[in-house]
Amino acid sequence: MTLLSALGYGVICGLGLAFMIGPVFFALIQTSIEKGFTSGASMAVGIALSDAIYVLIASLGVAVLANSPQFQAWLGLIGGIIMVSFGIGNIQRKIEANRAKAASGAASNSFVQIGKGFLLNGINPFVLIFWFGVGVAVINYDLQQKVLFFGGSLLTVLLTDFLKAYLANKLSHWLTPTFMNRMNKLVGVALIIFSIKLFYFAYEVFTL
């Protein structure tokens, strides 16, 4: 395994994760359309930070905690509560014509968006399981290969999320308040569906 190959596999891994359709994907697109590229990019940074923490844990080999059914169940339960809260909030929110016009150019608090991205991605146990699975797959890599692999993965996810935010924001100029309200509801329903999936995941583990 050459260093270049390790980097290439990392980029492929990052692309696979970046294009998974999940609650974070929907939330990133919605935030970029409604609040602008800066907010979407800030959310992408939060997503990348949570991924980086999981990569660090996986690289250090703390597999005992990640493979603990009780830990996964509690993470799923907490994640479900957070996602259903975001989902209900999205469904109830309404955008009026004057707010919609201002939203595309208005930058919301970057730290809030970083925190939102960090939470939505970080409390999803499937993301944790994904990175530990990847960690097991590259267990025989040396330190340089692991650095290039995980660095390539994380950078690819971050840059791809920046691209999603940019493209989504470009579409915002052609979107009506009606469309944005429907999108809010769609994102809210998607988050609630994923929260149910997390609740069921936690239930299955608790009842083992």
What is the number of domains present in the chain?
A: 1
- d(Cα 167, Cα 125) in Å, to the nearest integer? 28
| Burial environment of residue 67 by CB neighbours within 10 A (0 to 12, 13 to 18, 19 or more) | exposed
What pLDDT, in 10s, does the model give residues 57-93?
777 755 555 566 777 677 678 777 877 887 787 788 7
**Residue 89, CA distances (Å) to 79, 84, 191 in order:** 15, 8, 10
Q: How many CA atoms lie within 13 A of 132 on its CB side?
A: 15
| Biggest distance spanned by C-alpha atoms of the chain | 57
pTM (two decimals): 0.71
What pLDDT, in 10s, does the model give residues 115-157?
999 998 888 777 877 787 777 667 678 889 989 999 999 999 9
Segments forming the whole domain that contains residue 183: 3-206
